[in-house]
């Protein structure tokens, strides 16, 4: 009897335990499961067991040792090579070799950091190039950062089975364009190589032309995988507006040094007073034109040439607008406003006529196309603040403003843009040969080191001249599909701040894809910023989804604690999408 009672006393707790386990399983089954798109780092730090903490510390120590060993080895190897180059050739070339080798080795090992370094270095590349002697090789220095990082991202995609071509919709038009480009390289540039007798290098010209046409398209997956969450996104966009302010400050200092006589400016006679030259270089950047007595001011800012600086200012207006209206922090919205003011001021003092007219047009267009003009909570402080500051500056400097406006009017009257575009298009139609054009690189200014090129000052005319009617249709098809994909991504976003950023980036992609004047997609920095903006826009829907799931999980966490198994699944899903 005692044994039976004892047995019953033991059996009751087990039955109650089964009931508790079943009840807990039922409650877990009825609760919504975490989704793959969420990141645990957005949910706040989770407690680790002692064993997990020790494993994490060991992994961190091992990674630190590997970093130190690899970096020290890269520095020693690069230093030895640079020393030999400096001794037997030239000290400046030795410095260049040191920097190039370090960039190559470290960028391949750490692609995330390399992509950030690439974006930061880009607006200062012209200044660095001419500070080290102005060699044409140094103008490709940024690719020593970009290409190894690109290889690292490609290997990550292969290892994690992630798509490398993004978005999926561009695969077909990209394949068509690549087919036409390779055919042009083989059947147009190839015969030219055979007929040149060694005086030209049309094959190398074609390879460089293809690199300029599509070389930075892989920035889309690089940026897509670089941005892991909301913090990465805001960091990237805030870095961009800080770069804009820094470059504008250096450009303004350049102007003041020329105005006060600390730099000599343009000297000479006749046509020399109306052309930009490296002899007049001042403080930062490359060639400039400063002849105020003849109404000629074309400053390069931090870039190689004045026209690159003008397009940097135009591009920066889109990034500054996004931060000024869409950043979640009032402080950073103020920084965005300062960047917009800086861009507007430098568009005037730098003498960039296209920036002078396009910066205000693009800002007004952004207000309308992004819907910010109806967002009174953001529009009133930012819009009125921007208008007030610019009005005060115009009132205090009427002579400079009137001089720039008069210069723009004179240029318009001498060569109206619409007539100029039609003239260039007509010339390209008359001079291009066959359905594959005159050959890749034949209209690309940077390819002139490999042979004779034609100066064509509008982008679509250049494409028609180089790769023929089929080629220009393929390029426009690629840009159109990308524009539609970024528009769909922008329209799918619910969060108002992220939606504002996406709208700014989509308008930039739309604007550059079809802008007929000049050739911004052929030169820095637009040939980088175009694909950068596309990558940001395509990533934003996933960030938006993460935000919505985070909010739902925070609400869920108030009701019950997430199980270790759920947290482990979330961690595995996030680390699967990280690289370097």
Tens of pLDDT along the chain (580 residues) come to 444 444 344 444 444 444 444 444 444 444 444 443 344 344 444 555 677 777 777 877 887 788 788 888 888 888 888 888 888 777 767 777 787 788 888 888 888 889 999 999 999 988 988 887 776 667 777 888 899 999 999 999 999 999 999 999 999 999 999 999 999 999 999 999 998 888 889 999 999 999 999 999 999 999 999 898 899 999 999 999 999 999 999 999 999 999 998 998 888 777 777 888 888 889 998 889 998 888 788 899 999 889 899 999 999 999 999 999 999 899 999 999 899 999 989 988 888 888 888 998 998 899 888 888 777 677 777 777 777 777 877 777 777 777 778 877 887 888 888 889 999 999 999 888 889 999 999 999 888 889 889 989 899 999 999 999 999 999 999 999 999 999 999 999 999 899 999 999 999 999 999 998 888 998 889 999 999 999 999 999 999 988 887 777 666 666 666 666 655 555 554 444 555 5
Q: Tokens at residue 313, please?
A: 């200012």
- Give yes or no: residues 311 and 206 share one domain: yes
Q: What is the CA radius of gyration of the chain?
A: 29
Angle at CA of residue 557, ends 555 and 560, nearest 5°: 120
Would you say 291 and 274 are in contact if contact means Cβ atoms under 8 Å apart? yes
Q: Is residue 3 part of a domain?
A: no
Q: Is residue 39 part of a domain?
A: no
Q: What's the N-to-C CA distance of the chain in angstroms?
A: 69
- Give yes or no: residues 325 and 192 share one domain: yes
Distance CA 379, CA 393 (A): 21
Domains: count for the chain: 2
Q: Tokens at residue 279, please?
A: 């002899």
Q: Tokens at residue 16, please?
A: 């109650």
Distance CA 97, CA 1 (A): 93
**Which of 104, 136, 168 lies at the terminal end of a domain, its last residue?**
168
Would you say 299 and 256 are in contact if contact means Cβ atoms under 8 Å apart? no
Angle at CA of residue 309, ends 442 and 418, nearest 5°: 60
Q: Is the peptide bond before 525 cis (omega within 30 degrees of 0)?
A: yes
- Give yes or no: residues 148 and 125 share one domain: yes
- Give yes or no: residues 356 and 211 share one domain: yes
Q: How many helices (H) and strands (E) does the chain have?
A: 21, 2
- Give yes or no: residues 156 and 187 share one domain: no
Domain range enclosing 126? 54-168
- Give yes or no: residues 302 and 389 share one domain: yes
Q: Is residue 13 part of a domain?
A: no
Q: Is residue 451 part of a domain?
A: yes
Q: Is residue 45 part of a domain?
A: no
Distance CA 518, CA 456 (A): 9
- Give yes or no: residues 446 and 512 share one domain: yes
- Give yes or no: residues 306 and 291 share one domain: yes
- Give yes or no: residues 142 and 242 share one domain: no
| Cα–Cα distances in angstroms (integers) from residue 231 to residues 177, 489, 490, in the given order | 36, 19, 19
- Give yes or no: residues 209 and 82 share one domain: no
Beta strand ranges found along 114-255 (DSSP E): none
- Give yes or no: residues 65 and 185 share one domain: no
Q: Is residue 44 part of a domain?
A: no
- Give yes or no: residues 163 and 184 share one domain: no
Q: Is residue 232 part of a domain?
A: yes
Concatenated DSSP letters for 353-395?
HHHHHHHHHHHHHHHHHTSGGG-HHHHHHHHHHHHHHHHHHHH
**Which of 124, 146, 168 lies at the terminal end of a domain, its last residue?**
168
Q: Is the peptide bond before 443 cis (omega within 30 degrees of 0)?
A: no
């Amino acid at each position: 009897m005692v044994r039976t009672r004892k047995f019953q006393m033991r059996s009751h707790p087990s039955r109650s335990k089964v009931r508790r386990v079943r009840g807990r399983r039922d409650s877990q089954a009825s609760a919504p499961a975490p989704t793959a798109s969420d990141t645990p780092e957005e949910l706040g730090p989770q407690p680790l067991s002692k064993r997990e903490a020790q494993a994490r510390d060991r992994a961190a120590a091992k990674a630190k040792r590997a970093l130190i060993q690899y970096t020290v080895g890269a520095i020693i190897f690069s230093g030895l090579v640079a020393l030999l180059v400096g001794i037997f050739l030239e000290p400046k070339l030795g410095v260049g070799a040191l920097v190039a080798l370090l960039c190559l080795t470290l960028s391949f090992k750490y692609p995330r950091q390399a992509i950030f370094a690439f974006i930061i270095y880009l607006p200062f590349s012209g200044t660095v190039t001419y500070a080290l002697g102005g060699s044409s090789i140094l103008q490709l220095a940024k690719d020593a950062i970009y290409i190894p990082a690109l290889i690292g991202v490609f290997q990550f995609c292969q290892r994690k089975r992630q798509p490398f071509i993004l978005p999926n919709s561009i695969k077909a038009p990209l394949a068509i364009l690549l087919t036409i480009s390779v055919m042009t390289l083989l059947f147009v540039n190839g015969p030219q190589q055979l007929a040149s007798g060694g005086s030209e290098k049309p094959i190398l010209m074609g390879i460089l032309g293809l690199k300029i046409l599509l070389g930075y398209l892989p920035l889309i997956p690089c940026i897509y995988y670089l941005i892991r969450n909301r913090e990465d996104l805001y960091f990237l966009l805030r870095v961009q507006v800080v770069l804009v302010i820094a470059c504008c400050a250096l450009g303004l200092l350049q102007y003041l040094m020329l105005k006060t006589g600390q730099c000599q400016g343009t000297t000479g006679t006749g046509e020399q007073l109306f052309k930009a030259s490296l002899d007049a270089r001042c403080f930062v950047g490359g060639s400039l034109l400063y002849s105020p007595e003849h109404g000629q001011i074309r400053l390069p800012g931090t870039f190689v040439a004045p026209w690159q600086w003008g397009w940097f200012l135009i591009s920066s207006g889109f990034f500054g607008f996004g931060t000024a209206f869409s950043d979640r922090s009032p402080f950073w919205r103020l920084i965005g406003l300062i960047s917009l003011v800086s861009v507007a001021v430098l568009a005037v003092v730098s003498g960039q006529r296209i920036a002078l007219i396009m910066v205000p047009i693009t800002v007004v267009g952004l207000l309308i196309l992004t819907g910010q003009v109806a967002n009174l909570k953001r529009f009133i402080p930012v819009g009125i603040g921007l208008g007030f500051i610019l009005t005060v500056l115009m009132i205090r400097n009427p002579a400079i403003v009137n001089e720039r406006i008069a210069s723009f009017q004179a240029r318009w009257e001498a060569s109206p843009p619409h007539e100029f575009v039609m003239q260039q298009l007509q010339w390209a139609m008359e001079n291009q040969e066959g359905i594959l054009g005159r050959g890749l690189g034949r209209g690309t200014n940077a390819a002139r080191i490999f042979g004779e090129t034609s100066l064509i000052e509008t982008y679509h005319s250049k494409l028609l001249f180089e790769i023929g009617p089929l080629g220009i249709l393929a390029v426009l098809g690629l840009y159109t599909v990308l524009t539609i994909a970024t528009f769909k991504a922008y329209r799918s976003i619910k969060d108002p701040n992220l939606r504002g950023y996406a709208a700014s980036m989509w308008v930039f992609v739309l604007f550059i894809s079809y802008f007929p004047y000049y050739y911004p997609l052929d030169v820095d920095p637009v040939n980088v910023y175009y694909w950068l903006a596309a990558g940001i826009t395509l990533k934003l829907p996933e960030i938006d989804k993460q935000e919505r799931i985070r909010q739902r999980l925070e609400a869920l966490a108030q009701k019950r604690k997430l199980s270790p198994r759920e947290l482990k699944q979330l961690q595995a899903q996030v680390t699967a999408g990280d690289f370097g």
